[in-house]
Amino acid sequence: MSDSRPIGIFDSGVGGLTVFSEVEKALPREEIVYFGDTARVPYGTKSKETITRFSVENVEFLMKHNVKLVLVACNTASSLSLDFLKRCFRVPIIGVIAPGARNAVNSTRNNRIGVVGTNATIISGAYEKAVKSISRKIAVYSQSCPLFVPLVEEGWTKEKVTYEVASVYLKGLKAKGVDTLILGCTHYPLLKDVIKKFMGSEVLLVDSAREVAKEAKAILDANGLLNINPGRKKHKFFVSDEPGPFIRLSERFLKRKMTCVKRAV
């Protein structure tokens, strides 16, 4: 059996392209429909009710494209809305919290894990709960970094001001001696160079994207939903606001021309 329906991915903006990139590598025969809610980014400063409403609307949009699986690339939406989405829709839905937590637990050497994320993600305690459900002996230290998302959306991924902001946010985690740092927002991997520079090369940065791609492949395989037909795939990208800024950032990140980005209607 072969299922040619696309995979759906949504994020609050451009950050979910980190998930898109890993899914594309892991599942080269699959078509992907990506939705970035750029008109309403950032999600991390909003209430649970608002984030859940946005998330439902995002999945509804993807369902119009007959997707067979939905990946919630946004950490904030994953931490606050995933269970509700799973109850609302029959299509398999995967979040980024559990895969990232498993990776961090398997990677830490001194049992001291740091988590950075949006205000909403950190307040939810989702990563701490996920880590503790695997191992009670691991200490988890969390820090919200609300300015990281707008910096990425602005394209300021390596500027001096970005390093200065990062140093303020991360100094407490560095003082705690964490050896593993979960990047609890899909935007944050675009700041890896800055974060690594401050935290030091000995600190492992955990990006959930690769683990999510592995889980997506396993679920599709287990349910007979893989597309086994070869051929060039035509991915589709949609945003909820003017496509220009998204196109510029995505071309820089994906290193390809983005001629297929449309404004969702």
Backbone dihedral region of 8: left (phi > 0), alpha (psi from -120 to 50 degrees) or beta? Answer: beta
The pair phi, psi for residue 110, each rounded to 5°, is: -115, 10
Catalytic residue among 88, 145, 185, 260: 185
Structure token digits, residue 143: 């820090």
1 C-beta neighbours (distance < 10 Å), count: 6
Catalytic residue among 74, 88, 145, 260: 74
Report the distance separating Cα 11 and Cα 38, nearest Å.
9
231 C-beta neighbours (distance < 10 Å), count: 9
Structure token digits, residue 250: 């995505």
Residue closest to 91 by CA, chosen among 160, 168, 171, 9: 9
The pair phi, psi for residue 99, each rounded to 5°, is: -60, -40
Are 246 and 20 within 8 A, CB to CB? no
Residue 88: active-site member? no
Residue 74: active-site member? yes
Active site residues: 74, 185
